[in-house]
Amino acid sequence: MTETSRPGMSRRSTLALMGAGAVTFATPWVARAQAKTIKIGMPTILSGRVAQLGTSSRNGVMIEVDKINAAGGLAGRQIEMVIRDSKGAPQEAARVARELVNTDGCEILVDAEASSGAFAVHEVARDLGVFCIHTNSETSSLTADPKQHIPNAFRTARQGVHDSIVGGGYAAAIAKAKGLKKWATCSPDYAYGRDTTGEFVYYLKQFAPDVEIISDAWPKLFQPDYTEVVTKILQAKPQALYSALWGGDLTSYIDQANIYALFGQMEVFAVNMADYTALTVVKNLPKGIHSGNRYIKTYPATAENAAWGDAYKAKYNEYPTNWSWENATAVMLIAEASRKANSADGKKLADAMRGLTIKSPFGADGTVTMRAEDQTLIGYAIGWGTTIANEPYVPEVKSGDWKQILALEAEWKKTKGYT
């Protein structure tokens, strides 16, 4: 009896081909890794009340991508940005991120979502294993919590706990000098607002133990009307108010609080005030709001920072925002990691990026570092000051001390059970 072979493919080779196909479709970025251009996917918020910040994220990325492409690209590959609107909805951010990788063939994700969406994109990065860099989420736990840690995800956004340490120290000094013991808080009711406010209060009380929080308000993210929140705070009669509201929410709040003369009745500490987004939109900006620096071209007061801010304005006809520099930093780090690894491969980029220090216009000492242990950015310029209604908006910024920030952050991580 002779064995005859059937024409066409054997069952075994069919199965092998199907298996290879399944792997290819499941991890399309692997199959496309050798493409000449490298696609970088970017889910961000391009519509709704924070669209301006999403647009400024895109601009921050593009200003640096254009430079890299002009210089020959990422390890010889031209960058093609694929930027999609998530509308600020976490489920949409996750869907868009997945589509960018699986359908559009993006090999890198620049996650320019607010915290609400960033955690959703983080899970997509965990699932797909794609190199991902979070650029806007400041919620500390995103990188501080070991449960969130994945080797392929990094963060170039400032961290809430860093702002809170510097802000807590700054506010405590004013509280002691002016006898501000009764405080209220008003922050958006989601991960960033809750975490950052909790951290600010923690450090405020560390530095000024006799401070007491007598009222707190948690308006929804993108809430249109803050009347009941404003009146609730007025009823409590605090001597000082802390707020982590941002963007259009902050400007709405200021407009509505202004007509109750709230700003004349208490000292206000709004961590997100000193950003051109808010500073230039509010028509009747009250004097003397204390704020953390977000992005202003006069801080850090270096020629490099001023030049970067001016170049951005020349190109986009508006000043950069906090999200702009955070996104630009992501691209700067990717470029440097690519040079170091001589590759644009996601895994090699991740290896090269851990512990990487680069020169930066946004660095406290002219450099920023991607800390290896939790893959988050440190060393950026961070400080607090008092706003005025016109440029330079925050004439004097009291800088935070990174030595102190890192020491207190390490203690904070222990108290949270992160280390």
Partner 1 sequence: MDLDALTGCLASSACLVTQTTSGFIIGMLLFLVAVGLTLIFGVLKVVNFSHGAFYMFGAYFAMTAYQVTGSFALAMFCGAAGTAILGLVFERVFMSRVYGGDVLMQLLVCYAFVLIFDDVVRLVWGPEFRSMGMPSAFQVPPLFIAGGVVPPYYLLLIGVALAVAAILGVGLARTKVGKVIRAAAHNPGMVSALGINTGLIYGGVFALGGMLAGLAGALAAPVRSLTPGMGFSVLIESFIVTVIGGMGSILGALIGALLIGMIRSYGSLGFPLFTDGLMYLFMVIVLVARPTGLFGKEVA
Contact residues for partner 1 (CB under 8 A)? 46-52, 55, 189, 215-218, 220, 222-225, 227-232, 234-235, 247-249, 251-252, 255-256, 258-261, 277, 281-284
Residue with smaller CB distance to partner 1, 282 or 349: 282
- What is the bridge-based pairing of β-strands 357-359 and 367-371? antiparallel
Could you tell me which of 256, 208, 209 has the C-alpha nearest to residue 234? 256
| Shortest distance (Å) from residue 261 CB to partner 1 | 5
Could you tell me which of 338, 382, 278, 384 has the C-alpha nearest to residue 56? 278
Alpha-carbon torsion, ordered 384, 388, 391, 393, to 10 deg = 20
Omega before 209 cis (within 30°)?
Answer: no
Distance CA 55, CA 367 (A): 26
Could you tell me which of 368, 361, 380 has the C-alpha nearest to residue 304? 361
Residue with smaller CB distance to partner 1, 106 or 257: 257
Residue 317 exposed, middle or buried by CB count within 10 Å (0-12, 13-18, 19+):
exposed
Residue with smaller CB distance to partner 1, 192 or 246: 246
Whose tokens are 């000098």? That residue is: 177
Q: Please count the CA atoms within 13 angstroms of the CA of 112 that sit on its side-chain side.
A: 38
| Shortest distance (Å) from residue 39 CB to partner 1 | 24
CA 35 distance to own-chain centroid: 30
Residue with smaller CB distance to partner 1, 220 or 339: 220
| Shortest distance (Å) from residue 47 CB to partner 1 | 6
Residue with smaller CB distance to partner 1, 35 or 261: 261
Could you tell me which of 168, 160, 130, 132 has the C-alpha nearest to residue 144? 160
Residue with smaller CB distance to partner 1, 10 or 284: 284
Distance CA 249, CA 226 (A): 9
> What contacts 191, CB < 8 A, 6 or more positions away?
115, 116, 119, 139, 141
Residue with smaller CB distance to partner 1, 113 or 336: 113
| Shortest distance (Å) from residue 251 CB to partner 1 | 5
| Shortest distance (Å) from residue 384 CB to partner 1 | 24
Whose tokens are 């955690």? That residue is: 119
Q: Check: CB of residue 117 under 8 Å from CB of residue 98.
A: no
Region label for 414, one of left (φ > 0), alpha (ψ between -120 and 50) or beta (otherwise): alpha
| Shortest distance (Å) from residue 223 CB to partner 1 | 8
Q: Check: CB of residue 324 under 8 Å from CB of residue 57.
A: yes
Residue with smaller CB distance to partner 1, 258 or 302: 258
Q: Check: CB of residue 69 under 8 Å from CB of residue 78.
A: yes
| Shortest distance (Å) from residue 227 CB to partner 1 | 5
Residue with smaller CB distance to partner 1, 33 or 281: 281
Residue with smaller CB distance to partner 1, 53 or 271: 53
Three-state DSSP at 333 gives: helix
| Shortest distance (Å) from residue 283 CB to partner 1 | 3
| Shortest distance (Å) from residue 264 CB to partner 1 | 8
For the chain, give the number of residues.
419
| Shortest distance (Å) from residue 28 CB to partner 1 | 30
